[in-house]
Structure 1
Amino acid sequence: MNKEDIKPLEELLDEVRDIDGFPIADDEDILKLSDPPYYTACPNPYINDFIKKHGTPYDPETDDYEIKPFVGDVSEGKTDPVYMAHTYHTKVPHKAIEKFIEHYTEKNDIIFDGFCGSGMTGVAAQNLNRNIILSDLAPAATFISYNFNKKSTNNIQKIANQIIEKTYDECKWLYETTSKEKSNQMSLNDELESGEIQYVIWSDIYRCPYCEQEYVFWDEAVNSETKTVKKKFECPHCNAEIKKRNSEPVIETKLDSALGKEVQQTKQIPVYIDYKYKGNRYNKKPDEDDLDLIEKINSREIPEWFPANEMPDGDNTIQPKKSNGFTHVHHFFTKRNLWVLSELFNNIEQSNLNTSQKNSVKLYFTSIIQRASKLFRWNKNQAGPLTGTLYVASMYFETSIFSLLRNKSHIFNSIDINNYNNLLTTQSITDFNNIESNSIDYIFTDPPFGDNLMYSELNYIWESWLKVFTNNETEAIVNKTQNKELEEYTYLMTEGFKEMYKILKPNRWMTVVFHNSKAKVWNAIQESITRAGFIIAQVSTLDKKQGSFKQVTTAGSVKNDLVINAYKPKKEFEDKFLKNAGEGLEADFVKEQLKHLPVEANIERTEQMLYSKMLAHYVENGFKIKYDANNFYKLLHDNFVELDGYWFLDDQAEEYSEWKSSLKLNEIEDIKKGNQVLFVVDEKSALTWINNFLDEPKDYGEIYTSYEQIATQTDDKIPELRELLDQNFILEDGKYRRPKTRKERESIEKSRTKNLERAWKKLLDRAKNGSRKIKNIRKEALIHGFTKCYQQENYEDIVTVADRLYKSTLESSGDILDFVDIARMKTE
């Protein structure tokens, strides 16, 4: 795809204007930022041309792709220059991603990332000579990604330095300060020499709650020797012992010339200057000359354009608006830094560079924006913006723009990317009509996770400079201001994964990195993936402390960063199920799932997980459920091989035995201890852990000691450990063991089914005869009852019980939600 061979983007805008996520901007600004065909700050109309040139069409007759999910440890590599060059709200280091791409794909395959963020998936793919299509709703994200992934521009460092030096010559006077070292040695005939400010610390002014006099927070609360903040300190006026939280910030009214009106903001003054003089660093308290310079800057108009957009209403913008009076973008900068940024940006725009070169220099610009703003808080141990927020602290850094640029220049100089074929598009995951179906070889993506981060709000300052803004209508987040709760988040994620399912080739893999500590959001993401048609085969945890992905998990491991590996079933598998409505194909489903699992010890091979997956697949597709937990065990026993509580195909059983014989002693012990289950958060994970732990008979005390270490608080009414053991395992000679024979296993399951049935009937009776919401639910009994009602097409009872449950209970399990959604659809 050569630029000269393509139709101009200006002529194609109307073709993509109705695609979800088309940004909020004038066409002129979209075209100005874009570098077609490789990057468009709107939905990219050249994607299918890219696929046609670089991809391999899917042919079910010749396709022989057979890959198991990735198993292994992966180093993060957070100190790599590419990772450090430009901040973004979440990142997976590209060196970690490379391991997945290398495992799932071959050279020249096409990789896709629908939540590309800063583009690390692209860097990873290109380093391995893979083609990459990157997409994000946020123009700020695709802009950063494009710059990291595009073909290198010759002499860009030299070009950037020329623009920076020009700006320095024009603006260096704004950072001049009198050197106290020179002043102390001056005679009357000496000429005054200036130091160059590196940074200034500003402090809020507060009012004492007792005498109501103003005091400078830095002067009273910060220990001048240790640079630590005191929790209690004395008022300099009345000597009363006070705390920050008991004091009110002083609000001042001042003229905002950019808005042409007065504004009310927290009162702040400079308290500390770090500067450079003749190659050495010094510090001082701002003197009269420093204050005069600030007054001089504040009294003048900035000669060039800068963004003065009003900050959007949002969950993250509340704090700076209410606490600081920062209602517009320019309020997040001191006037001095805003002046220099404005001059620098104007010099980039007025240069004779082409679009690609200008954008490369703009990447330097956007890379320093956060640290150039008042978000750069002062803190002895954690200096810097508070990640994932727009929080403005009581004390912040005003860092010299030129100091920031010099530091970034060193990092950018160290970047070495093996640029390959790549393409960027700015659009929503909910609409990939501009991407051909069954065309992508692998998807790696790191989606939004509930209410953790408000991307459109956090990107707003960047996008104000770029003049192209996120269209947040389909932004998949939980956000009160946008009236999006978990239900809306789940819906948008489901629609997005459906689109990814559509463009992915059959029998191929999608890897989803997920960060959230809330079980309901973890369940929502699993639910979205499953509803889209994917089948989850492997879930691993990312150990940030040890810098590796560990191949251990349970569905409840929500306190770790998770890596979900899911596959799109083969077309013939899908067609067969749809044609027969799943009837008589339960064993086929299990076989397909086992084929996609690694032969190593894997929780997905346990009876509980296989049944849960089959149940979800059948309910999602509206198929009849023939099996309960008891006869599902018979199905497994009649068709597959069980080893150590895991189920295998015949040929896999031998591979598993070979793998197990190669393990070291400590690795075997981990499996014996049930260490594949990190947290017990429900009855299913409890039983899975116990089953793994009982590799040999153990007494109650030993089981209890280990169980307590991994059991976590939950709203699931899990039976006591002793009850779980008595009902599901065999007590023999004072020790508990796994059932050995089919007869033992069937007897236990029969008894468990009766127990769950009794619990379900009590729950149903409470729902029918009570009026209050029901809490303390035994979820396994609830799922048992819902399964039975679904089999009998008794959807009314499902809805009756669901209406009496708390919303948090419904959201805590994808299995529960599946039944309720189907039942409501059927009854309505």
Structure 2
Amino acid sequence: MTDKNKQLTMINENKDEDEQPVTVLGMTFKNDQERREYFTEELRKKLPELKEIEGFPMGEDEDILALSDPPYYTACPNPWISDFIEQWEDEKSNTVREESYHRETFVADVSEGKSDSVYKAHSYHTKVPHKAIMRYLFHYTRPGEIVYDGFAGTGMTGVAGAMCGDRNSSEDLGYIDNNEIGGRKVVLGDLSPIASYIAYNYNTPIETASFEEEAYNIISEVENEFTWMYETYHNNNEKAKINYTVWSDVFICPNCTSEIVFFEAAVDYKNGKVYKEFCCHSCQAKLKKKGLERSWETKVDINTNKTIEQIKQVPVLINYTYNKKKHNKKPDKFDLNNLMKIDKMNIYYWYPNDRMPLGDESRRNDRTGHTHVHHLYTKRNLMILSMLREKFLNSKHRNALMLLFTSHLINLSKLNRYRPSVSFPYNPLSGTLYMGSQISEANPFIAYKNKVKRFVSAFYMNEVNAVIETSSLTDTNIKDNSIDYIFTDPPFGANIMYSELSFMWESWIKVITNNQNEAVINKTHNRLLPDYQELMQDCFEQYYRVLKPGRWITVEFSNSKASVWNAIQESLQRAGFVIANVSALDKKMGSFKAVTTTIAVKQDLVISAYKPSKKMIQEIESNDRSSETAWAFIKQHLENLPVFMGDKGEAHQIVERTPRVLFDRMVAYHVQNGLVVPISSGDFQAEVTQRFPIRDGMVFLENQVAEYDKKRILVKDFTQTTLFVSDENSAIEWIRQQLMKKPQTRQDLHPNFMKEIQHIHKHELLPELDQLLEQNFLEYVGDGPVPDQIASYLKKNYKSVRGLENDHSDMKNLGMNRWYVPNPNKQADLEKLRERSLLREFESYVEEVSKSRKKLKQFRTEAIRAGFKKAWSDKEYQKIVDVGERLPEKVIQEDDKLLMYFDNAQIRLGM
């Protein structure tokens, strides 16, 4: 427990709650109970109109009201959010002017583990550690500013916002400035009732000592009545407490048709092994689990009293504690009789008996006869859970206790796998409702008692800093331009079926996710990638609408599919955001590194983007069709990028500052906003060097370059970002990196080049190394003025040879026929020549698709990109669509530039 929690507990223990006046949204109540009653009645009146809002959850009105704690939290859309935002704006310090706000992209390393008590308190599908989020809040916001997370999940953004005001927690992260330390106000929303309910509990103050006492009392009360259910005998004469019971599936031998208890035939639990091949005990036939038929049995459903068919599962192992030591035993006659006795008992308290919903994941256990929620629990555990729930609901700490209750619902179900090599008692497979062939039925009294202590340490809140709702982000009622910063961790494609997995929890709280427009890719509900992208765009458009101009959004992303990443990026940009940085979490090193290719998404990514300022938008609109729109964009974009990145004596390349990436960002902004791209790549390369200072191949503003030079001179080495070569563009960048280190011959480059291109996409018609060199670089053959890069290389490597850099014949003798990176002016000329070559190649594809309806099997992606850009500038949208339809769908979906042109061209044509 933190010092502040102890202090809060002491204060709460010495005051009468009924005598404490409470002021909320300008209204004063004599106590918190009166506040809750007043706003609950107000919420009841508003429910009819709230039900018209997209994402309103499924449940009875009384259950929604019972779950809510208005105005702070509602298990439906929250009608008071705008009132809170207006109040928070009024409370902001008058010393901070909005016009003074400026932040560059956050690029510091972020590494926060998952061992914190808050992170571990509840087994919800996904979370971002709140300490990691705190670093972003400290960078992008000031105390008192308003943060929004519309995919809030368990509310870690809210916890982070509050903990920014805790000096000990802030100083632990290295923040000691009094101007930085201070709570941030947070608006949290999620489609899932269980997620928003968890978020509410994490973000609500509680009397921890009173909660702890109440929790232990209720658990002990139920345990005292039913302790016999979890008793066994040690050596047949001394009672002991069961920790868990292992149940095993039973299969049929295909050779002799006898029953095979999987645990007995295939598991060596003493050595922690499960055999892939095992023998039938009856006929000794060698078998493998795959392909074996299960043994089935007829049961009477405890809810309907009707007979049902389920796979046969039998108890095979009991782990128990005797004299503080753990032992294992095979169930004996006493244990089996106990289970038979329990099986005949009635359950007198309510429990969920809902049919598992349709979905990709939620009905995976239908094939074993486990079709309803209550089928996923043993009779013993279901009985105890129903009684605990009833008593928790009637406690003054009902919300915190129900959070405790739901935290173990998966661990205490049949989804809890027995793993002989793992000592940890709770092992459900994350992100799925998979039921293994060996089930560990855990003792609920042990589970909840052990969890209470963790919960006490997880309750950080000393005051209410967050307002929470249960609703769809696509229909939020937050006012325009009212949010200072957004941190969000949205659902990513088909990674996790959130509503299906949440159903087990939500069935116990009687309020269910309305998943009609859930942003997931789901085959059962026929939601494909385009549907997902459209929903994500709707969500990002809402984010864009409510965020103040010039402010930032951070998107945490986790998906291994490039197509899903591109859908996210496309949605962000189409909504109006400008992506300033994409970083990948290096899980081994615990740090974030810049991503240079949007198809290298095997890691967790963090996307930083901003909403353009009003000034930039006005400047672009007033200069429409002029090249000045390009430079207006570049100027603001450079202002938002970090000036210097480096550590341990090294300066790192800032990928976003390189001319190629700047050009791509500028083009994307114009295309996504329906503007004509005002300048070609070649002209851009030429003019960028005239308008801005260049250092180490990066572009800076005049007021930035002095800072870079000052820091650059203090480090010895300059490191380029590691590249994954997958196409022509990344191959060119790889060559550029090699030649930036030193001028090289074609023979020097070739061996390593061949190794790097082993992962080139099958469809990519990659030019030979000679062609790539000729189109993008220059060769010095020992005549004419010595290029700067060659001269610099000679001075560094041939210091003993005086005047060598001016002696062309001697340079030839030393083999100085080498390729090098041209200066910017020459680079622009090469870019123009290369662009003409690419466009000629593109026109050959146009001609090919006009003659045949077959897909293009091999092509130069760079030629397609160049052709699409030219066609967009010429408003030849049909040409883009015609060629795009002949490309493999995977190529379009996994290439962010092609997808951008193709989608926008279709929109222009009304397709």
Smaller-chain TM-score range? over 0.9
Alignment partner, residue 650 of structure 2: none
Partners of 1:346 and 1:472 lie apart in 2 by 28
Alignment partner, residue 66 of structure 1: 102
CA 1:237–1:618: 2 relative to 1, 3 Å: same
Give 1:170-569 correspondences, 5 Å limit. 170-180=225-235, 183=236, 193-322=238-367, 324-351=368-395, 353=396, 357-381=397-421, 384-415=427-458, 417-420=460-463, 421-432=465-476, 434-551=477-594, 553-569=596-612
Equivalent in 694, 697, 702 of residue 743 of structure 2: 697
Partners of 1:497 and 1:737 lie apart in 2 by 43
**Is 2:278–2:288's contact at 8 Å kept on the other side of the alignment?**
yes
Query: Are 1:724 and 2:772 counterparts?
Result: yes
CA 1:545–1:366: 2 relative to 1, 3 Å: farther
**Is 1:554–1:603's contact at 8 Å kept on the other side of the alignment?**
no
Alignment partner, residue 135 of structure 1: 189
Give 1:789-800 correspondences, 5 Å limit. 789-800=871-882
For the pair shown, which has the larger CA radius of gyration, 1 or 2? Answer: 2
- Count of matched residue positions in the alignment of Structure 1 and Structure 2: 804
Partners of 2:723 and 2:432 lie apart in 1 by 30
CA 1:715–1:418: 2 relative to 1, 3 Å: farther
Per the alignment, in what secondary structure is the counterpart of residue 440 of structure 2? strand
CA 1:399–1:700: 2 relative to 1, 3 Å: farther
**Is 1:442–1:509's contact at 8 Å kept on the other side of the alignment?**
yes
Partners of 1:648 and 1:201 lie apart in 2 by 64
Query: How far does residue 686 in structure 1 lie from its aligned partner after superposition?
Result: 3.2
**Is 1:783–1:816's contact at 8 Å kept on the other side of the alignment?**
yes
Partners of 1:497 and 1:177 lie apart in 2 by 57
CA 1:255–1:777: 2 relative to 1, 3 Å: farther
Query: How far does residue 487 in structure 1 lie from its aligned partner after superposition?
Result: 0.3
Query: Are 1:150 and 2:204 counterparts?
Result: yes
CA 1:418–1:679: 2 relative to 1, 3 Å: farther
Query: How far does residue 92 in structure 1 lie from its aligned partner after superposition?
Result: 1.3
Q: Structure 2 counterpart of 1:783, which letter?
A: R
Partners of 1:614 and 1:700 lie apart in 2 by 33
CA 1:496–1:677: 2 relative to 1, 3 Å: farther
CA 1:14–1:680: 2 relative to 1, 3 Å: farther
Partners of 1:679 and 1:24 lie apart in 2 by 47
CA 1:126–1:211: 2 relative to 1, 3 Å: same
Equivalent in 641, 652, 659 of residue 597 of structure 1: 641
**Is 2:725–2:756's contact at 8 Å kept on the other side of the alignment?**
no
Alignment partner, residue 78 of structure 2: 44
Query: Are 1:585 and 2:585 counterparts?
Result: no
Partners of 2:127 and 2:625 lie apart in 1 by 40
CA 1:582–1:89: 2 relative to 1, 3 Å: farther
**Is 2:580–2:640's contact at 8 Å kept on the other side of the alignment?**
yes
**Is 2:483–2:548's contact at 8 Å kept on the other side of the alignment?**
yes
The percent of aligned pairs where both chains have the same amino acid is 42
**Is 1:517–1:560's contact at 8 Å kept on the other side of the alignment?**
yes
Q: Structure 1 counterpart of 2:218, which letter?
A: I
**Is 1:730–1:736's contact at 8 Å kept on the other side of the alignment?**
yes
More RCO (CA 8 Å, sep 6+) = 1
Query: Are 1:641 and 2:693 counterparts?
Result: yes
Over residues 149-183 of structure 1, what are the superposed CA-to-partner deviations in whole Å (9 max), with x where a residue is unaligned? 11223511111112111221222221121222xx2
Partners of 1:706 and 1:303 lie apart in 2 by 73
Alignment partner, residue 623 of structure 1: 675
Partners of 2:110 and 2:693 lie apart in 1 by 31
CA 1:648–1:492: 2 relative to 1, 3 Å: same
Partners of 2:828 and 2:394 lie apart in 1 by 79
Partners of 1:371 and 1:656 lie apart in 2 by 53
Query: How far does residue 56 in structure 1 lie from its aligned partner after superposition?
Result: 5.4
Per the alignment, in what secondary structure is the counterpart of residue 299 of structure 2? strand
Over residues 632-655 of structure 1, what are the superposed CA-to-partner deviations in whole Å (9 max), with x where a residue is unaligned? 212312211222221111222222
Alignment partner, residue 788 of structure 1: 870
Partners of 1:599 and 1:555 lie apart in 2 by 23
Partners of 2:879 and 2:687 lie apart in 1 by 28
Query: How far does residue 718 in structure 1 lie from its aligned partner after superposition?
Result: 5.5
Over residues 562-590 of structure 1, what are the superposed CA-to-partner deviations in whole Å (9 max), with x where a residue is unaligned? 01000001123223334544533111111
**Is 1:538–1:604's contact at 8 Å kept on the other side of the alignment?**
yes
Query: How far does residue 775 in structure 1 lie from its aligned partner after superposition?
Result: 3.0
Per the alignment, in what secondary structure is the counterpart of residue 553 of structure 2? strand
Over residues 780-803 of structure 1, what are the superposed CA-to-partner deviations in whole Å (9 max), with x where a residue is unaligned? 211211111122222221121122
Query: Are 1:103 and 2:146 counterparts?
Result: no
**Is 1:541–1:549's contact at 8 Å kept on the other side of the alignment?**
yes
CA 1:716–1:773: 2 relative to 1, 3 Å: closer
CA 1:326–1:62: 2 relative to 1, 3 Å: closer
**Is 2:263–2:316's contact at 8 Å kept on the other side of the alignment?**
yes
**Is 1:214–1:250's contact at 8 Å kept on the other side of the alignment?**
yes
CA 1:365–1:579: 2 relative to 1, 3 Å: same
Q: Structure 1 counterpart of 2:864, which letter?
A: L
Bigger shift: residues 85-94 or 307-316: 85-94
TM, length-normalised to structure 1: 0.93
Query: How far does residue 20 in structure 1 lie from its aligned partner after superposition?
Result: 1.7
**Is 2:544–2:576's contact at 8 Å kept on the other side of the alignment?**
yes
Q: Structure 2 counterpart of 1:740, which letter?
A: N
CA 1:83–1:826: 2 relative to 1, 3 Å: closer
Query: Are 1:739 and 2:837 counterparts?
Result: no
**Is 2:205–2:462's contact at 8 Å kept on the other side of the alignment?**
yes
Runs of 4+ in 1 over 6 A off after TM superposition: 57-61
Please, which runs of 5 or more residues in structure 1 have no aligned partner?
187-192
**Is 1:430–1:474's contact at 8 Å kept on the other side of the alignment?**
no
Alignment partner, residue 189 of structure 1: none
Bigger shift: residues 774-783 or 488-497: 774-783
Partners of 1:86 and 1:198 lie apart in 2 by 21
Bigger shift: residues 697-706 or 733-742: 697-706
Query: Are 1:164 and 2:212 counterparts?
Result: no
Query: How far does residue 679 in structure 1 lie from its aligned partner after superposition?
Result: 2.5
Partners of 2:704 and 2:762 lie apart in 1 by 38
Root-mean-square deviation (Å): 2.2
Query: How far does residue 699 in structure 1 lie from its aligned partner after superposition?
Result: 4.3
TM, length-normalised to structure 2: 0.85
Partners of 1:89 and 1:711 lie apart in 2 by 37
Alignment partner, residue 18 of structure 1: 52
Partners of 1:690 and 1:797 lie apart in 2 by 32
Query: How far does residue 690 in structure 1 lie from its aligned partner after superposition?
Result: 3.3
Per the alignment, in what secondary structure is the counterpart of residue 430 of structure 1? helix
CA 1:332–1:49: 2 relative to 1, 3 Å: same
CA 1:759–1:260: 2 relative to 1, 3 Å: farther
Query: How far does residue 760 in structure 1 lie from its aligned partner after superposition?
Result: 0.5
